[in-house]
Chains A and B, each alone.
Chain A
């Protein structure tokens, strides 16, 4: 009986050793890895589909593969193929696109990414930056098709946002050159402008068919001076419901606008320049010092003096301008003064105008994050070809116990 037990233990020990050897041998013949190259990964699908591979390693050389490739690799991973990848460090490129709230509705593209980034549309390159890590801004009037920011290892793309309906600007001011040339600048820049210019008690020169002062009809009101007092009671609710308001200093002094103005205005100061300097037109203008409210921000400044400030007033925005007689810039400035004056006014009004469309961010964006989510982080190097097949931890102790029991039994009965 004891001899039979010893024989059984020896048989069990041999059986366990044979099972362990079979397992190692099976791992060497079945579980092999396949190596893929990023540029030709699609052509490798047949090899990967072969049942003899249960691991794959992708080496990326030039940028992440396409999203479709990423999804197929993720599917393999979910099906049990052990996916790893390596390559130069890949970094995300962020792209945000919105329409400028001005009549030409140019596209404002904000791009950030490491190293050189090229911004392009379907037709051509729009701009590039040697280092966009700090973010760059690109403005383009008429890009075609999908917009892309192409970095060294990633691409972000978005379609251009839909065009906005630009509403009318209402200009209120006395009969003055400032009123006249403000209207002219905005009209020449493409805005639809209505104006109301009182010229005598009970008499005003008006242009346009006056509509109710609401955001369905008007994008913003430009209040040049005290002539705005007549409509001040309607302007404040208009702003609070989402409209824009640009106050020149004389209008900002009106008590009706005290609650909404971004800055307190001081007494007008003469320019330090004795005559108009065409090379520094804004510095040649007289100014009104602005003292910002706590919730206001500076949009423009000259030295330490704030010259344009803005703040939100509920759903709307208000800007106050500290420059006096801006029309002199157009008349007395340099060769580009007419264009510069137009653009300044358009930009200032656009900064507060109602009707902004939302920014469009790279919706397929975060391609690097999606890649890592699907396939994990990169590995330092490709894993060795044969996957390790660990033997069960219980195998060695059990084997030792069996052999000790068999050896002990034989020794205690005097056998060798």
Chain B
């Protein structure tokens, strides 16, 4: 039985693309745990400048360090989004004054277009689990780390009514960066919003 979904982490030449190595396994576990989606048991890492990225219409990008895409990476990202791909970007710094945020948002604007605040009524927030107040807050926000803000909204580049780039300042990369076996110690599974991202990407 072939998989309908393979988790893809984006590699890029600058920065630290592999700063959250436990996130893929944790989200794969959640998708398998809650849904009937046929998910591949292991994820893949694909260079942004490679044509292989087009085999994975949902891709995850994170990091702490400055992001500067190469021309090829920029062109590939634009084409990827134009063809229907969805890039999910999470700021691993949780800091609007951080270098990742400033450089990555600049690169996304250059490659795909300017981002806008995503309404908390967007179908993303009830594609599987329901998040009435929009994106769930992370423990890093609640503890006042990073920019000491609780970000009420995500940002996005929309193509029509479809999300082409989803951008988070909430540091889900830290929030979800633990071994899936430890999920049993949590009173509430904090990866549920990740399931919504996957289901949204596969159905809308």
| Alpha-carbon gap, A288 to B34, bound state (A) | 31
A328: contacting residue among B34, B55, B162, B201, CB under 8 A: B55
Within 8 Å by CB of A205, from B34, B83, B85, B127, lies B127
Of B13-21, B35-43, B137-145, B174-182, which stretch is located at the interface?
B35-43
Residue among A175, A201, A331 making CB contact with B55, cutoff 8 Å: A331
Q: Does B202 sit at the interface, judged by CB under 8 A?
A: yes
CB distance from A337 to the nearest CB of B (A): 7
CB distance from A128 to the nearest CB of B (A): 36
Contact: B84 with A330, CB < 8 Å?
Answer: yes
Task: Please indicate the chain B residues that have their CB under 8 angstroms from the CB of A306 in the complex.
Answer: none
Query: What are the residues of chain A within 8 A of B127 when measuring CB–CB?
Result: 205
Complex Cα gap A181–B54 (Å) = 13
| A176 & B55 in contact (Cβ 8 Å cutoff) | no
B36 CB contact (under 8 Å) in A177, A199, A337: A199
Q: How large is the interface on A (under 10, 10 to 19, 20 to 34, 35 or more residues)?
A: 20 to 34
Contact of A331 with B36 in the complex, beta carbons under 8 Å: no
* Contact indicator B57/A331 (Cβ below 8 Å): yes
Q: How far is the CA of A201 from the CA of B35 in the complex (A)?
A: 8
Q: How far is the CB of A190 from chain B (nearest CB, A)?
A: 13
Given the known inter-chain contacts A199-B36, A200-B35, A331-B55, please indicate yes or no for A175 contacting B83, CB distance below 8 A.
no
Cβ of A253 within 8 Å of any chain B Cβ, yes or no, is: no
A205 neighbours in B (Cβ, 8 Å): 127-128, 199, 203-204
Residues of A within 8 A of B202 (CB): 175-177, 179-180, 197, 199
B interface residues, Cβ below 8 angstroms from A: 4-5, 34-38, 51, 54-55, 57, 82-85, 127-128, 162, 199, 201-204
**Across the interface, do B4 and A331 meet the contact criterion of CB distance under 8 Å?**
no
CB contacts under 8 Å to B, within A248-281, are: 276
Chain A positions 172 through 214: 1 when the CB is less than 8 Å from some CB of chain B, otherwise 0 = 0011110111001000000000010111110101010000000
A180, B203: Cβ atoms closer than 8 Å: yes
Closest-by-CB residue of A relative to B162 is A184
CA–CA, A332 and B46, complex, Å: 15
Chain A residues with Cβ below 8 Å from B199 are: 175, 199, 205
Cα-based distance from A199 to B201 in the complex (angstroms): 12
A306 to B204 Cα, complex, angstroms: 31
> A175 to B202, alpha carbons, bound, how many Å?
5
Whether A338 sits at the interface, judged by CB under 8 Å, is: yes
Contact A331 B35 (CB under 8 A): no
Closest to A205 in B: B203
